Amino acid sequence: MLRYHTDNKRALVVDDDPLFCFSSAISLKMAGYEVWEASNGMRALDTIEEERKGGRNFNLFVIDLFMPVMDGMQLIREIHRIDQANRVLVVSGSIDDEVIEELKSFGCRHWLTKPFLVSQLMEAVQQTQG
């Protein structure tokens, strides 16, 4: 897991594609985020728990839906359980209407279909943050 250090905004990027994680982390870092990366949902949960033990929470989650070990939807369910789903930005190669309805049921209101531009990512991040 890589971490980039900046101000007090904290983001966790969860995707099994290391290039996507890296490029997203760079973009978020430039926007003032401190960024953590995880390659699957299980590693993300470990990171979330570790940070919560230290009294720290994430302001933003950028989550791919299709990953090994624990997929994005399972992770979003767990995040929702700890009441942070309203800060989730879903990114995926395919998001159909059924998936969108399930995402909405967990408080997710923002998603992007890959591939997308950095400007689209940053606009979606701003919308996710409210």
State residue 75's pLDDT score: 96
By the 10 Å C-beta count (0-12 exposed, 13-18 middle, 19+ buried), 54 is classed as exposed
Within 10 angstroms of residue 74's Cβ, the number of other Cβ atoms is 16
Buried residues in 81-117 as b, exposed as e (16+ CB within 10 A): eeebbebbbbbbeebeeebeeebeebebebbbeeeee
Residue type, 56: R
Work out the average pLDDT over 67-80.
Answer: 93
Torsion sign across C-alpha atoms 106, 110, 116, 117: negative
Reported pTM = 0.90
Superfamily of domain 3-129: Response regulator (3.40.50.2300)
- For residue 7, what pLDDT band results from cuts at 50, 70 and 90? low
Is the predicted pLDDT of residue 76 greater than 90, yes or no? yes
Is the predicted pLDDT of residue 1 greater than 60, yes or no? no
| Domain regions of the chain by residue span | 3-129
Residue pLDDT, tens place only, 44-65: 999 999 999 999 999 999 999 9
Work out the average pLDDT over 27-37.
Answer: 96
